[in-house]
Each structure stands twice: as C-alpha cells, then as structure tokens.
Amino acid sequence: MLKNVRIALAVLALGLLIWAGYLGLVWAPADREMGDVQRIMYVHVPAMEMALLAMTLNFLCCVTYLFRPSWSMDSLAEAFAEVGLFFGGFGLVLGSIWGKPTWGTYWTWDPRLTSMAIGLVSYAGYLTLRRLVDDAERRAVWSAVVGIIIAVDVPIIYYSVRWWRSLHQMQSSPATVDPAMVRALRWNFLAFFALFVVFVMARYAIALARRRQEVTPPPLVLERAS
Amino acid sequence: MNASVFLATQTGRIQGGWSYVWTAYGLTWTAFALYGLSLWLRRPRQEP
C-alpha cells in the first residue's frame, strides 16, 4: 500500500516537474534587467526553500526526540538532514551559476552565501557524526543535540539578506513581481515539494530499516542437543 | 559598438545567457535522477 502511494507520488512529482519546467523555460516572460538568465530563479529558489524546510523539520525532529525518544523520530531527523543537504547543495551550485552572468562571479563571501555554505558543512558534519557512532541510542541523542545547535544557522540564512544588505537580493514579494513569474515559481515550488516528499519518504524507510536491524537482537542459535 | 552591446550598456539588460539556463536546468534534472537512483539502490529489502 505504502509502496503504491510512493510510486503514485513519484509519478505526480515527475509530471509536475515537466509542467513546471515548461513554465519556467518557455511560458514565463524574460526579466527586464536579467533577461533569460532570470529563468534560473525557478529552480534555484524552490531548491533553497526545500533545503530550509528540511533543516527546520530536522530541528523539530531533534527537539521531539529528546523529549519523546523513538526510532521513527530519529530516522525522520536523519532523512530530513540528508534531503536538506541534497537540495541545499545543488541549490547553492545553481545560485553560483546564476551569479556568474549577473554578479560577474561564481562565488563571493556574501553573508547569504556564506551562511548557507556553513549550514551545508554543518549538516554534512551531522550526517558524518551519525556514521561514526556505533551505539544507536548514543548516536540518536548526540545527533539530536547537534541538530538543535546547527539549526541556529537557519534563521541567519533566511534573515541574512535583511540584516546585512549586500550583494544577494532580498526576498521578493508577489506584489512586486510579474504575475506570470509568480505562477511559474509556485508551480516549480509545488513540483519540488512533491519530489521532496518522495525523497523524504524513501530516505526515512532506509533509515528506519537500518535502526530496526541495529536494535533487533540476532536470532538465537539453538545448539542441537548431542 | 554593435547593437547587442549598445542595448546592454543602455538598458543594463543581460543579453543571451541561455547556456547558463540550460546548465542550471540540466544540473537540476541530473541531480534529481542521481539522488533518486541512490535512494532506490539503498532501499530496504523488506519494507518497514
């Protein structure tokens, strides 16, 4: 049953991705200043939104685990961390590609870029920690604490463009953007979100299966009475 | 000064740039495919 739901969601996400890709590449108008390069926004912004969503949900799972420990919550935290790292990683590369024709450089130590890079390194560290600790219970507690600490970076990433008005632009509002661009962006957000759910479900199943394998005692081997 | 450079300097509008757009979209789809494949390869043999 769950497998069928996952397959149906994956098909839906694929369909949405094709439709949203058409809207972003063909249907939406070119930007007045950036021209067609602005079309990168339709993949860069949703990727970063999914990364921030995953990081926030990882934080909530970590807090929940410390108050109500369960393998499912620990597995869910692991799933959100990896999926967040995935979306954030390629989202940062997309931003870098967009930066070259608009800013004239692939990388600059802008507060938004720097705080995001720190966040990604932190979540890579979180996942590394989970691999290094063998004891499942200790690993779950330690990584929950680390997950809470590194989540401090999430609001810094979001508000960095307001606190330090530097090269990266501030968040746009639908009121100041062409409605066609807003529509294309929302469809892309929906497509990325559907894929996000598919990825998290799949990664959660992997993590939970590993936890169960770790905590289930091996079957007793009965010696044949001689 | 050719027409496209003149237009760019007069309006500030970036000309062309489709190679960046295709690179970004290509990277997005490739990343989705590869991560999806990695999840499928790591899938548990028995569903939890």
pLDDT tens digit string along B6-46? 555 555 577 778 999 999 999 999 999 999 999 999 999 86
Q: Give the closest of A101, A202, A203 to B14, CB-based.
A: A101
Query: What is residue B29's predicted lDDT score, i.e. its pLDDT?
Result: 96
At residue A203, does pLDDT exceed 70?
yes
Angle between helices A2-22 and A179-215 (to 10 degrees): 150
Query: What is residue B14's predicted lDDT score, i.e. its pLDDT?
Result: 79
Choosing among 1.10.3470, 2.30.29, 1.20.120, 3.30.360, the CATH entry for A2-211 is 1.20.120
At residue A124, does pLDDT exceed 60?
yes
At residue A105, does pLDDT exceed 60?
yes
Q: Does A129 touch chain B (CB under 8 A)?
A: no
Nearest to A45 by CA among A197, A177, A165: A177
Which tokens belong to A166? 């530097």
Query: What is residue B45's predicted lDDT score, i.e. its pLDDT?
Result: 80
Other beta carbons within 10 Å of A27: 13
CB A114 within 8 A of CB A87: no
Other beta carbons within 10 Å of A181: 21
With cut-offs at 50, 70 and 90, classify the pLDDT of residue A6. confident
Instruction: Note whether B47 contacts A34, CB cutoff 8 Å.
Output: no
Which tokens belong to A168? 């990266």
At residue A117, does pLDDT exceed 80?
yes
Instruction: Note whether B21 contacts A36, CB cutoff 8 Å.
Output: yes
Mutation site, B32, B38, B45, interface A, largest A CB count within 10 A: B32
At residue B3, does pLDDT exceed 80?
no
